[in-house]
Every structure is written in C-alpha cells, then in structure tokens.
Structure 1
Amino acid sequence: MSAPLTRIILCGKTAAIGRGVIAGLKPQVEVIRFVSSLNQANNEIPLILSGQYKNLPEVTKGEEILGTQNFNRIPDAVMLGGGYSKQDFEQIQKTCLDTPKAKAVPFFLADTTLPAPPLGPEYGKAMTNRAKDALEKWRLNLTGNTTGPIWY
C-alpha cells in the first residue's frame, strides 16, 4: 500500500523554480496552489485554509496559475521557499490565525543558513529534496514541531 498523498500550498518567488519543485514533489505531494508573493500569500492562504477558495481572485489573461487547484479539502501544510523570511512566515501565520474558520496547519520554512546552490535548476532540485525529506519526517510525526515553522 502506498503512503497517503500529502497536499500543500507552495510559496516561492519564481514560477520557473515553482514548476520544477512541483514536478519534483510528485507523486507523493500534491501542490494545490503555488503562491509567488507575500501579498498573494496573505490574501489567498487564509481563504484556502478556511474553505473560502471560491473567493480567490480571478485569473487575469496571461497569468500562469500553478498547482492542481484541487480545493476539495483543506491542504495538509503550507511550504515557504527560500525567498521567504521568518518575519514573512509570522505575518502569513498571523493573518491565517486571524481568519475565522481557518484550519491550523503546519508551516514549513526553508532554512537559508543551510548550503544551497545558486538560483537555477540545481537550486530547485536541492530545495525539492529538502522539502520532500521534511514533509516525510512530518508525515511520520518525527518533527515534534507544532507551532513555529518547521525548518527544512
């Protein structure tokens, strides 16, 4: 029997890296929505976590939306890439906590103190591997972290 599918919101700064990470996380992880800015994260993540996905902004012509857009249930976690700081995490988490009916889910935050290749394909691969490992440890209940970011 295969492991259950983990569903996440992925936050990154570029669609190019996002596409690579989304592809690399399959098939164990389904990225339901890719968010590419702090403003978008503060606006959309609380809506998704509270089941109000129908209130997500309309897609404008030429805008690329990444992720499955499968909102049939609340995602299991939110993963913030290396372009997001601990302060960004705190701001997004507070916005979510202040949103009525928003489900509390773990937030994963890239540890920018760990070595990583420069931005580009190798960076995406390295971050994908770190993300997969962190999600698997969390899924197996090995992280012990329930309130702050889970560093990966």
Structure 2
Amino acid sequence: MDAPVYVIRGHPSPVHSLHFYRSNSRLVSADAEGWVVLWDIPVRRPVAVWRAHDSAVLGVADWDDSNIITHGRDNKIYVWQVRSEDEPSLDTRLPATSSSEHHRPPWLLHALDVNALNFCSFAMCPSLNSASSSQILLAVPSSKDPNAVSPGFSHSI
C-alpha cells in the first residue's frame, strides 16, 4: 500500500463526512462535534471553518458549487452559501488549534427540521421537473417508520 501524499489535520474529533466538489478543488470535512472545514485542495489549507451543528454531522453535499448542505444529529439540515467570492471573508481558524468557538459562519440560506434518530444521512438529486440544477429533491429517514424514507422536500435557490 502506498503512503498518503498528504494528511489534512484540523478536526478536534473524528471526521464523520467528506465530500469533494468544485471539480475536486475543494473538500468539505465534517466531524462528530458539528464542525465543518472547507479545504482548498491545491494549497492544502482551510478556506472556511464554522460550527454548523450542535452535535455530530451525518452528511454533507454541495448544491450548485456555491452552496453546502449539512445534516446534523441535532435534527437539522442546513444549506450554507459558500461562493468562491465569499471565501476570503470567512474564518479559517481550525477547531483543533483555536481556543474560541466563535467562528463567523457562511450565510445560512435554508433550515429544515428532520429526523436524525438513526445514523442515516440525507440523499439528494436534481429535480426531474427542472432543466437547471437550481432545484433539488432531498430524501431523509422517516420520522414515523424507521424502515422508510420521507421524500417530499423540493426547493429552489
């Protein structure tokens, strides 16, 4: 087995979710304490750091290369606006090295109450009714039946 090319460090607790986007130039990592770090892969440095949830993050995804969706064990799904032009104004202090928990988060576009009583994250896809990627469908675990999925959330930006 080959040795890693580089190890990215900065989370104070186990990483629960990873997602590449923007043609693999960015990596979103999220951990067991609710921290999200947006990494610039070519320079291997954070470009945005914020506490997205009060507890563990179950999943992350991107929406239109300028929005990040996070799903936490705090029963919330959030959509954060993180455009390229926003990155210079966002906090880059890593939670593992920073004593302050106050980090300026990106702009919060949407919040959705969901069930997070299990360990399953959301799934998403572009809406079939939309020609652009500005409309998505989200599926989340059902709050009534632990063996079921609750579709029924469709939203545009």
Confirm or deny a common fold (TM above 0.5). Answer: no
Q: What is the TM-score when the length of structure 1 is the normalising length?
A: 0.30
Q: What is the TM-score when the length of structure 2 is the normalising length?
A: 0.30
Q: RCO (CA 8 Å, sep 6+): is it higher in 1 or 2?
A: 1
Specify which structure has the higher proportion of helix.
Answer: 1
